[in-house]
């Protein structure tokens, strides 16, 4: 892979590795990536939920809440989608 083809995440990981900082654990480069993946998966789960119930109940999005995730990569807060009827129960978290 040529240097200009690297993603922002890859650049951050490489920079942290080269500077001697942790890649894993608190403050590591993988925690923000994991946060991003979890939030995207929750958004997809919410879309599926709303598509399933919206036809019959008229349920819609209603902002976001916060949850704290504890993982081997550190502890971090994620934004969790909410619906008006509070019927969304994510399977992921």
pLDDT digits (tens, 9 = 90+) for 21-68: 777 777 777 777 788 889 999 999 999 999 987 666 778 899 999 999
Q: Number of structural domains, the chain?
A: 1
Confidence of residue 4 (pLDDT cuts 50, 70, 90): low
* Structural domain includes residue 90: no
* Structural domain includes residue 92: no
* Structural domain includes residue 91: no
Mean pLDDT of 69-87: 88
Q: Please tell me the distance from the alpha carbon of residue 70 to that of residue 60, in angstroms, as a whole number.
A: 29
pLDDT of residue 41: 95
* Structural domain includes residue 12: yes
pLDDT of residue 93: 82
Residue with tokens 């209603």: 62
Q: List the structure tokens of 45.
A: 């789960």
pLDDT of residue 1: 44
* Structural domain includes residue 57: yes
**59 is in which domain, residue-wise?**
3-83
Dihedrals phi, psi of 56, to nearest 5 degrees? -100, -30
Task: Select from 49, 66, 60 the least CA-distant residue to 83.
Answer: 60
Name the 3-class secondary structure at 14.
Answer: helix
3 vs 13, residue with greater confidence: 13
Say what the pTM is. Answer: 0.72
Q: Please tell me the distance from the alpha carbon of residue 75 to that of residue 85, in angstroms, as a whole number.
A: 29
């Amino acid at each position: 892979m040529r240097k200009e083809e690297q993603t922002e995440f890859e650049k951050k990981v490489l920079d942290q590795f080269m500077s001697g900082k942790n890649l894993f654990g608190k403050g590591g480069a993988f925690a923000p990536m994991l946060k991003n993946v979890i939030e995207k998966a929750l958004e997809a789960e919410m879309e599926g939920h709303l598509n399933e119930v919206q036809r019959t109940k008229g349920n819609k999005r209603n902002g976001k809440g916060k949850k704290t995730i504890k993982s081997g990569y550190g502890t971090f807060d994620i934004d969790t989608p909410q619906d008006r009827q509070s019927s969304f129960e994510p399977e992921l978290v």
